[in-house]
Structure 1
Amino acid sequence: MLWLGGLKDDFLTLKNANPGYVVWITGHSLGAAIASIAATTIAHTKLISPDMIKLITYGEPRVGDKTYAELSDTLLPYTYRVVHKHDIVPHLPPKGFRNYYHHKSEVWYNNNMAVGQTWVECDVDEGDKCSDSTLDLVPNDHDDYFNINTGFANNGCKGWNIYNK
């Protein structure tokens, strides 16, 4: 509803005012799922060339089925799902439940994500060498990406939003 309620028009206005700009689409958690759908929709409807779309998500749950994942993989050449250590949300819904399936590519940090930490990249939809390699899943890792605690949004964004002091 957001898309048809004005977001598409706003997107087209900005796109037309800035021809040649690369569009970066990102989000965390449910926002990551929405970002995935938005990027795939924009590419599928040919609103801009798919090579002008960069999708990076954080803690993204499984969004669609294998057909959706394959469509996203085909349409979007630059897509990364970043997963922190034992974050449980990227494993929801559980693999195989009602055919939910991830699109590629996963970047998995099996550490605290501090500067200089290593990661593993799995350029497949469901890589068993990335976060699917562990069953030790916890909710705490979902709230902390690159040493930024995402729980700040629940606390009014104090210190982040100049209008909320």
Structure 2
Amino acid sequence: MEPRRWLAAAVLMCVLVLCSGRELKAKDAPTYDPALARTLAEYTSAVYTADLTQLFTWTCERCGDLTEGFEVIELIVDVKNCLQAYVGFAKDMNAVIVVFRGTQENSIQNWIEDLFWKQLDLDYPGMPEAKVHSGFYSAYHNTTLRDGVVSGIQKTREVYGNIPIMVTGHSMGGAMASFCALDLVVSNKFCPQSKIVGDWKSSMIGHNPWEELEHLKINFRLKDVKLMTFGQPRIGNAVFASNFNRSLPDTIRMTNSHDIVPHLPPYYQYFPQKTYHHFPREVWIHSVGLGSFVYSIEEICDGSGEDPTCSRSVSGNSVNDHIHYLGISMHAESLGHCRIVTDDRILQYNMDTAGNIVLFKQPGLSVNELHSAQ
């Protein structure tokens, strides 16, 4: 039996080398950092904390280990649409972290079933023939999340400098995170209009003024935004995916074994221009091995976004694989409706007429120091 065990181990090692190294030498492929993936998975897990006071003060059970010492600057809760995101500063990474929560429905199965019937129905601005899922697009662009997230990023960078921005999210939160990251690099929300106009006027001589203005706008767009999502659904067609990849070439999209959500909305290979299409680059977590020699690997897939040898090679029928990534739970602590802050005595917050809440504090000031100042 012993020689057989050694033979099985040798075969397994060959499989591991072939699978895990297949795309490591691909040109223009983003660098996959397993340690960063686990850290961002912990940040994403924390957003599912039911007690928002614990989340805002970073004292929740999931707010430790690789994310210890994180400083939440802004926490946005869209009560009507049951959406949530937070923005803060990670000192060890010297970066702004932006995290979006996934669906908080009583039954995730209902949400999954809905995705089978969703159709491409919105033209993405500035991208001819690029169509996207209007529900995911609107969840970020047409709710309180967008303004709250941008405000949190601006506050954080005003204090800590023009540090990189890491955007992440799980499930539907991954879809919103994707639209957020794209928004940050293609919009001009971080470019003061007076700065654009002032520089434009000073450089008009000898140039087409409108071309020059557009050039200045592009130069002021954010260039240090990175995105990593977990178990996100498809959000647009192939044209959108191609444009997305050009704008955010360092994106990593994590999928886990038979997770059902990355298979939705369905991909119809015979209608490539009319169907939903993932943007690259996928990293597929799955198990390989023989007998008792089974290991979990993180396979870097090809640059198509729809690598047939990665998650598309399996049935994709597991909800359990959707709520566990890298050994970290992505499951909500509460299956009920949106939870509001349980103790607002130590927190600053604004509430609009619709009941939406934005919790905030001055960057660099602890919650206890904020309470003392109040």
TM-score (norm 1): 0.81
| Separation in 1, partners of 2:244, 2:327 | 29
Length, aligned pairs only: 154
Q: Name 2:187's counterpart in structure 1.
A: 45
Per-residue CA deviation, residues 99-149 of structure 1 (Å, 9 max, x unaligned), is: 21111000001139xxx8322111322111210111252221101111122
Within-5 A mapping of 1:11-160: 11-45=153-187, 47=190, 48-50=221-223, 52-96=224-268, 99-111=275-287, 117-122=296-301, 123-154=303-334
Q: Which amino acid aligns with 1:132?
A: R
In our comparison, the structure showing a higher alpha carbon Rg is 2
TM-score (norm 2): 0.38
Residues 84 and 111, structure 1, Cα contact 8 Å, conserved in 2: no
Structure 1 segments of 4+ aligned residues over 4 angstroms from their partners: none
- The DSSP-based 3-state class of the residue aligned with 1:56 is strand
| Separation in 2, partners of 1:4, 1:120 | 33
Where structure 2 has 5 or more consecutive residues not aligned to the other structure, the ranges are 1-142, 191-220, 289-294, 337-342, 344-374
- The DSSP-based 3-state class of the residue aligned with 1:55 is strand
| Separation in 1, partners of 2:317, 2:179 | 25
Per-residue CA deviation, residues 60-105 of structure 1 (Å, 9 max, x unaligned), is: 0001122221111000121011011000000110113952111100
| Separation in 1, partners of 2:146, 2:329 | 32
Shift of 1:154: 2.8
Residues 234 and 278, structure 2, Cα contact 8 Å, conserved in 1: yes
- The DSSP-based 3-state class of the residue aligned with 2:180 is helix
Where structure 1 has 5 or more consecutive residues not aligned to the other structure, the ranges are 157-162
| Separation in 2, partners of 1:41, 1:136 | 30
Q: Which amino acid aligns with 1:21?
A: I
Question: Greater CA deviation, 59-68 or 84-93?
Answer: 59-68
Q: Name 2:37's counterpart in structure 1.
A: none
| Separation in 1, partners of 2:148, 2:325 | 31
Question: Greater CA deviation, 15-24 or 52-61?
Answer: 15-24
Superposed CA RMSD in Å reads 2.6
| Separation in 2, partners of 1:149, 1:139 | 12
